[in-house]
């Protein structure tokens, strides 16, 4: 099974993906994380992607599809995987179909209000060591600096600045939002209310996923 997480920046795909990774045992594949790591390591890919990401624009379909092709071929993806931030364009959705079209698929589309996105991204911090995601809204000042998971330094993403967030939302509406129509027509597409506490969103998503995994299992058995 493949789980595709859809939704605008700040809708909680990464946080939900981390939790689903724990509950399903499927690896979470975040193209954004892979690209950020390449930027940190200063690889050729990282050098190509850095300026594009800093502006909030999209890295080329060929590059990200190459990353996904390589990643889903690894043995830990045999049972299933979770895609967070891919596909983001129609061309990527079609490429994924060519790469791994036979797999059962559930698309979970997170729905959040625009003001929730802005508030979440302003408070988002990411661990520079292990990439865990946190939100500092409501946290005491002395809890803001360190990762709860590994003690690494919490950092604000460069592309979470207000101007870049605006551009990322524009790109989302133009290039990625149309994917909802594509998946509604050809796959199991379910919307999830992404408002509120991450644990509540996880519970809602898990309930939907349990139903869909059971239905996929029944279809296979028939």
The residue ranges that bind ligand AMP (CB under 6 A) are 9, 31-32, 35, 52-53, 56-59, 64, 85-86, 88, 92, 159, 168
Smallest distance, ligand AMP to C-beta of residue 17, A: 10
CB nearer ligand AMP, residue 14 or residue 80: 14
Respond yes or no: is residue 98 known to be catalytic.
Answer: no
- Report the nearest approach of ligand AMP to the CB of residue 86 (Å): 4
**Is 120 in the active site?**
no
Which one of 55, 69, 103, 157 is the catalytic residue? 157
For 94, the 3-state DSSP assignment is helix
Q: Is 203 a catalytic residue?
A: no
The residues, ordered by sequence, that sit 6+ positions from 188 with a Cβ below 8 Å of its Cβ are: 105, 106, 107, 212, 215, 216
Return the C-alpha torsion angle 31, 12, 117, 125, nearest 10.
-70
- Residue 124 known to be catalytic: yes
Please state the closest distance from residue 215 (CB atom) to ligand AMP, in A.
28
Closest residue to ligand AMP, Cβ-based?
Answer: 32
Sheet holding 28-30, edge to edge: 28-30, 81-84, 2-6, 105-111, 188-193
Please say which residue, 86 or 183, places its beta carbon nearer to ligand AMP: 86
The DSSP letter of residue 138 is T
In this complex, which beta carbon is closest to ligand AMP, that of residue 1 or of residue 59? 59
Catalytic residue (one of 2, 13, 36, 120):
13
159-171 b/e (C-beta count within 10 Å ≥ 16 → b): bbeeebbeebbeb
Distances (CA, A) of 209 to 19, 87, 103, 109, 182: 13, 19, 15, 12, 20
Query: How far apart are alpha carbons 99 and 89 in whole angstroms?
Result: 15
Nearer CB in complex with ligand AMP: 12/85: 85
CB 128, min distance to ligand AMP, A? 15
Told to judge if 40 belongs to the known catalytic residues of this protein, a careful annotator would answer no
Active site residues: 13, 88, 124, 157, 168
């Amino acid at each position: 099974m493949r789980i595709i997480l859809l939704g605008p920046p700040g809708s909680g795909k990464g946080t939900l993906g981390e939790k689903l990774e724990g509950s399903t045992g499927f690896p979470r594949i975040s193209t954004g994380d892979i690209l950020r790591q390449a930027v940190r390591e200063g690889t050729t890919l990282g050098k190509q992607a850095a300026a594009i990401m800093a502006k909030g624009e999209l890295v080329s379909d060929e590059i990200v599809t190459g990353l996904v092709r390589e990643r889903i071929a690894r043995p830990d993806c045999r049972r299933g995987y979770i895609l967070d931030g891919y596909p983001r364009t129609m061309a990527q959705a079609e490429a994924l179909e060519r790469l791994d079209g036979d797999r059962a698929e559930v698309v979970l589309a997170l729905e959040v209000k625009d003001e929730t996105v802005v508030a979440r991204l302003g408070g988002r911090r990411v661990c520079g060591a292990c990439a865990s995601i946190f939100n500092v809204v409501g946290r005491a000042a002395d809890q803001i600096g360190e990762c709860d998971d590994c003690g690494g330094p919490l950092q604000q993403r460069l592309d979470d600045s207000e101007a870049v967030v605006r551009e990322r939302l524009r790109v989302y509406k133009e290039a990625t939002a149309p994917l909802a129509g594509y998946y509604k027509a050809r796959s199991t597409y379910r919307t999830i209310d992404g408002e509120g506490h991450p644990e509540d969103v996880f519970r809602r998503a898990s309930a939907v996923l349990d139903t869909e995994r059971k239905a996929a299992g029944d279809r296979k058995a028939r």
